[in-house]
Amino acid sequence: MISYLKQTILVLIGLLTLASLELTKLPDGNLHLHVLDVGQGDSILLTTPSGKHILVDGGPDLKTLEHLGHHLPFFGRRIDLLILSHPNQDHLSALPEVTKRYSVGAILLTGAPFDLTRYDALLAQVQKQNIPVVTADPDQDISMGDGVVIDVVWPPTKLPKDFLKNENELSVVARVLYKNHKVLLTGDIEHGAEVSILQSGADVDSTILKVAHHGSKSSSSTGFLLATSPNLALISAGADNPYGHPHEEVVEKLERMGLKVRNTGEEGTVSITLQ
């Protein structure tokens, strides 16, 4: 009898623990930003105050799926907006599987005609699942409700010919706007796109910057950083990766400008609550 009671109590404790964990995933009226620890790649999850989910990129493998299972409620099988910045493997890999396992409200893509097998496979899966496709357009903001707005900055609908052979330069760049918060997501843009964005007159002012291209010295030009003027820089890079990301000179530049720098390669998933 005592043994049975102990087992029952242990089961109840386990259920209560699971329930409490699930409750922490429910909407709490804040915007949550998670730069997921996917190793050497990019995957970012945003959850709006009312519980809508925005997934930006899918990392180099299937780790993104593990993170979604951790951050989304057990019954939450919906991604309201999927954004692929560009079809490099370290940004795309988990997305075909995401479209199979989750109900996806829409996918935002750059309008570039990438001739890549992995990209074609994603597009085929998107078509199979009847997921609406939205082409990035700086003239069209995307409202997610709760005052959360996706302000597309780059690329223009008329794609620059000089960049057509460089997937990085045509990365979707967007600001996530909420109250007084401005989160600038930059994909893997390099110096050329940074200059073009500034020349276009686009508003890139931000409070939080997702540093481009994993902190590579091919990005984060001084002029671009001055224009963005954030106070927090987030870097997604794998620990001890073979590329040396983030490059030391980039981190030093960010710190000289007074920015706090947080790096998934050092601390794992970086989570921020925006009130």
Instruction: Note whether residue 218 is domain-resident.
Output: yes
Detail the DSSP E strand segments found in 203-254.
Answer: 208-210, 232-235
Provide the pLDDT for residue 223. Answer: 98
Provide the pLDDT for residue 76. Answer: 81
Instruction: Note whether residue 4 is domain-resident.
Output: no
Q: Is the peptide bond before 155 cis (omega within 30 degrees of 0)?
A: yes
* CATH number of the CATH domain containing 164: 3.60.15.10
Instruction: Note whether residue 265 is domain-resident.
Output: yes
pTM: 0.90
Q: Which residues, at least 6 apart from 205, have a Cβ–Cβ distance to it below 8 Å?
A: 182, 227, 228, 229
H or E, element range at 274: strand 270-274
Both tokens assigned to 263: 């790096």
Per-residue pLDDT of the chain (275 residues; tens, 9 = 90+): 566 566 666 555 544 444 444 444 568 999 999 999 999 999 999 999 999 999 999 999 999 999 999 999 888 899 999 999 999 999 999 999 999 999 999 999 998 989 899 999 999 999 999 999 999 999 999 999 999 999 999 999 999 988 998 999 999 999 999 999 999 999 999 999 999 999 999 999 999 999 999 999 999 999 999 999 999 999 999 999 999 999 999 999 999 999 999 999 999 999 999 99
**SS3 call for 23:** helix
Question: How many structural domains is the chain composed of?
Answer: 1
User: Which residues in 187-214 are b (16+ Cβ under 10 Å) and which e?
Assistant: bbbbbbbbebbbeeebebebbbbbbbbb
Provide the pLDDT for residue 273. Answer: 98
Provide the pLDDT for residue 27. Answer: 80
Instruction: Note whether residue 251 is domain-resident.
Output: yes
Number of H helices, E strands in the chain: 9, 16
Provide the pLDDT for residue 74. Answer: 83
Instruction: Note whether residue 70 is domain-resident.
Output: yes
Provide the pLDDT for residue 23. Answer: 42
Q: Domain range spanning residue 184?
A: 29-274
Provide the pLDDT for residue 274. Answer: 98
Provide the pLDDT for residue 14. Answer: 40
Instruction: Note whether residue 24 is domain-resident.
Output: no
Instruction: Note whether residue 84 is domain-resident.
Output: yes
In sequence order, which ranges of the chain are alpha helices (DSSP H)?
2-23, 63-71, 89-92, 95-101, 117-128, 191-200, 222-228, 248-256, 264-267
SS3 content of the chain, % helix, strand, coil (to 5): 35, 20, 45
User: Which residues in 13-38 are b (16+ Cβ under 10 Å) and which e?
Assistant: eeeeeeeeeeeebeeeeebbbbbbbb
Instruction: Note whether residue 7 is domain-resident.
Output: no
Provide the pLDDT for residue 98. Answer: 98
Provide the pLDDT for residue 4. Answer: 58
